[in-house]
Every structure is written in structure tokens, then in C-alpha cells.
A = this chain, B = another copy of it.
Amino acid sequence: MTTRPVLIAGAWRAAGATGSFTAMNPALGEMLPDLYPISDWADCEAALEAAAAAAAALRSSPPEPRALFLEAVARRIEARKDELVEMAHAETGLPKAPRLAEVELPRTTGQLRQGAAAARDGSWALPTIDTKLNIRSLLAPIGPVLVFGPNNFPFAFNSVAGGDFVAAIAAGNPVIAKANSSHPGTTRLLAEEAFAAVAEAGLPPASVQLLYRTSHEHGERLVADARTGATGYTGSRAAGLKLKAAADAAGRPIYLELSAVNPVVILPGALAERGKALVDEFVASSLMGTGQFCTNPSLVLLLAGDATEEFVGSVKGRFEAASPTPLLSPAVGKALASSVETLQSAGAQLVTGGAPASGAGCRYSNTLLRVSGAEFLKSREKLQTEAFGNASLFVVAKDDGELAAALRHLEGNLTGAFYSDTRGSDDALYGRLEPLLRPRVGRLLNDKMPTGVAVSAAMNHGGPYPSTGHPGFTAVGIPAALRRFAMLQCFDNVRPERLPPVLRDQPPHERVVRFVDGEWRRGALQ
């Protein structure tokens, strides 16, 4: 059996491989047939060199070919939809429908088209003009972007064609994609389409490159290399923090989307008013995708009382009644079991689950744990361990003060939610607790579970450390996500014909919005 080629410098070619790996069908527990290479440093070096040249070419190009490219990728994904869904299903065990075919794939093509529109428009770059001093600035491409995609979204966050890829290309940068090892085949198919689209749109051939895997050491060298403009990483905290340390030491920007437990605070009035509905909402959000979402509600905070006991009992029943769906890989199953053990060793009691489950492939029982507010405060670091998968921890505080103390000790998270009643009985408590939770989360929700990250200009899929590496940026949402992959470039007294078109008195098109002498406006300068 031959090892699949990598995509470097405009050609599919044999990798300089130090080894190879195969993916698994986690729903069946069977290895898949294809062999993928672990690239050596020579592959990385070749990719960096080609990316640097592509970056230089892209910098001086208009946005139209990039927009056409992103649209072509979307169209090609739709044309190859059945094969892509089949492959992603085989590699992840995620349901073909609705999840892969009807939700994630259209989300992915939607992101690609939104990215194309943003590139074409140009307003994302916040072009700014001071006519009096003749100083002009904009956000310009930062250079080659490395993308490390996660295991849980084979399309929408894929290092080829996913959110970071779209943002990097739309902002004018080439991408070096590192496939997630759990779905190399899906990534390969996406890269085949992306590479065909590169040719179709006339982009520099190395605008998209793909390595399937490297050693950890080479990953750290890649993010720290002087030719790397920036890195986008979504994945485990441990691996992400190693890359962050390497990038930070070299002064290379890196954007990370790491772990989160996504605290959900259910206030007593809400429980009294609509406890049954909240059970439905929580169970659906918690078990969706076998709990394998960055925004899974893994930590629920409640006040002690009969209603809470009833809520816990109902969730327990529903967790037990639902058949566990497959996990993404044996590694995910192992990490989940280990996290549940950590939570238990820190004082959490098992309400249900906590063991491997029967059925084909990798499955773990739907798991619910609980702990008192006092115990939580005592072992608060360990009890914020992310159990990635179908497990949640309920913290039952004895009173408002203990609940407030728990919020005060939460780590940075992607999201945080409050459920409160509609008649106002929770309002005073909300008013006291909200200021404690708000600065600790990127997205605050009311009466809504955190799963479901809309691709909206107002979205924040980010948050304070350690949920990400910097609280000012979002990985989802256009145009904001593009601004991660940009550097601020100022032009001071630069002659008109030498300015980027979007900064000239007469912009290249009427649609672009610029910040001119303190006002956002369209059209030519007077």
C-alpha cells in the first residue's frame, strides 16, 4: 500500500516521511485503509519557502482572485458532497444526516462565501485615512498562516476549507494546513478541491499546501519560523500551549482555541418556572455530537433545593435512557475516562455513567457528576478539568454566596450562560452574579445553551485565557475573524500611485467603507 502524497509548492508529491499513520472508523472500531505520511523537516522547509513566495505574490494582488477561489471551493465541495460526507462519516462517526450533510457542510460553504464577500468588499481591513496629514492605514496580510484543525468538525473547522482557512485566505495569506490525524481522508478530499480551485482562480500555486502530520518538535519549529506570519490552532490545551510557548518565544502571533467547560448558571426562578423544559434543553445540548463541542455545557451551577434535586434526577434518567453515540476516536475515549477520573478524585460524585459503554466502536456512557459548592471551591482547579465528550459536572451551591464564590474562581471560558425566570424573581440575583461571570467568558447567553455558534458578525468564539490565547479575537464571525491574520500597515506621505488601491482617494469600488477623518463612509475623497 502506498502512502498518500502531500501538497507542497503547487504539486502533490511523495512526502519526505519519517513514518506513516492510518485513521480509524470510530463508530466501527476498524482501521481505515489509507496510509498517510508523517512529514520530515524537509517537507516543512519546502512548504515554508513556497508559502513565503506565495505570500509575496498575494500581497500585491487584487482581492478578486481570492474571492473567486473561495467561491470555487464552496462550489466544488457541493459538487463532491456525497463523497465528502461518506468519508467524514467513516473517519469521525458523526451522523451523515442531519449533522454532516445538512448542518456542517452548508455551514462550511456558507463561511467560504462570506469570506469571499468580505475579501471582495475590503472593509474588513478598516481602511483609515487622515486627509489633513496624508496618513493612511489598513490591516494587511500577515504572511503564511499555519492552520491546525481540530478533530470535532471535519468540515467547518478543517484546516483546509474551514473557518481559519477562510479567514487567512480572505485576508490575503497563503495557508499551510496541518491535517487533524483523525480525519486525513476528509482533509485530502478538501485539499484536492482547494488545489483545483487555486488553478481555476489563478492564485499562486502554493496558496494552499497540506501536510498530514509532523513530529511535535517540527510543529513547534513551524509556528516559530520567521517565514510564518501567524498560526491558527484549535484543539487540546496541552498541545496548544506547547505551540503557544514556541510561537511566543519567537514573537510570532498565534491564535488558539483551547478548552472550555462553558458554565451554565440555572437560577432558582427559572427552575421553578420551567424545570422540565430546562431538562430538555440541557440534555439536547449536552449530548449533541456526543458532547464533543468546544461550547459543550460541561459545568452547570445550581442552588441546593428540591427543584435542583428533581432537575438532577431528571437529567440522570434522560442520560441513562439515551444510547451513547460514538466518540471521535479511541484517544478521545481515553481522555474522557481520564478526565472523569480526575473529577472524581477531586471530590465529584458519579450520578450516572463513568464507564465505557457497549456498542460498536468507541463509546462512553453518558456521564453526570455532581459536587457541592464547598467541594468545588476546595478543589476548584481540578474540578474545572474539561471532560471532552458526553459528560457534565453539576455544582450544587448551598446559597447565593457560595454560588458567587464559585463564579469568582472560574477560569476563562468561551461561553457562560444564565437561565432566569421571566417574571423577575431572579433579577436581583442575576444582577449580583452577572458582573462575576461576564469578564470570564467570551460569549454570555441568556436562557439559551451555548452549543450552536452562529457565523455572525457579532459572534465571539473566543474568550479569556486559557480558553484562548488572547481575549480580543474571535475564531468565528466574519469580518472580525479575518483581522487575526493581518498586520497594521501605515502609509505616511506615500505617493498616491504607490498606495494600496483601497487607500487611494478614489477607491477601487464604491462598496468599501473607510474611516475618513473620523467618519465611516463610502466613495471617493472630496
Contacts and interface: CB of A to CB of B under 8 A. Distances in A.
A484 B470 CA distance: 11
The 9 closest A-B pairs by CB, nearest first: A251-B465, A460-B490, A471-B487, A520-B520, A248-B248, A443-B490, A135-B458, A130-B458, A130-B456
Interface string A129-170: 110010111011011000000000000000000000000000
A442 interface: yes
A423 interface: no
Contact of A472 (B139, B248, B494, B518): B139
Interface stretch (A305-313, A360-368, A445-453): A445-453
Say whether chain A's binding surface is mostly helix, strand, loop, or mixed.
Answer: mixed
A488 interface: yes
B471 A488 contact: yes
A473 interface: yes
Given A130-B458, A438-B489, A457-B515, 9 more contacts: A128-B458, A137-B460, A139-B472, A252-B465, A442-B487, A460-B488, A472-B486, A474-B488, A480-B488
A483 interface: yes
A459 B434 CA distance: 37
A289 to B, nearest CB: 19
Given A435-B59, A443-B492, A465-B252, A135 B459 contact: yes
Contacts of A139: 472
A493 interface: yes
A56 interface: yes
Contacts of A459: 130, 135, 137, 490
Contacts of A498: 430, 434, 446
A471 B253 contact: yes
Nearest to A503: B458
A513 interface: yes
Contacts of A484: 472
A269 interface: no
A196 B362 CA distance: 65
Interface of A: 56, 59-60, 128-130, 133, 135-137, 139-140, 142-143, 244-245, 248-253, 412, 415, 430, 434-435, 438-439, 442-448, 454, 456-460, 462, 464-466, 469-474, 480, 483-484, 486-495, 498, 513, 515, 518, 520
Given A137-B458, A488-B473, A248 B244 contact: yes
A135 B459 CA distance: 7
A320 to B, nearest CB: 30
Nearest to A470: B253
B488 A462 contact: yes
A134 to B, nearest CB: 9
A142 to B, nearest CB: 7
B448 A493 contact: yes
Contacts of A520: 513, 520
Given A248-B244, A498-B430, A520-B513, A445 B129 contact: no
Nearest to A478: B518
Contact of A494 (B444, B473, B483, B494): B444
Contacts of A444: 489-492, 494
Of A480, A483, A492, chain B has the most CB atoms within 10 Å of the CB of A492
B458 A493 contact: no
Contacts of A473: 488
A74 to B, nearest CB: 19
B464 A518 contact: no
A435 B498 CA distance: 11
Contacts of A135: 454, 456, 458-459
A287 to B, nearest CB: 21
A405 to B, nearest CB: 15
Contacts of A445: 492-494
B129 A446 contact: no
A458 B248 contact: no
Contact of A446 (B133, B480, B493, B513): B493
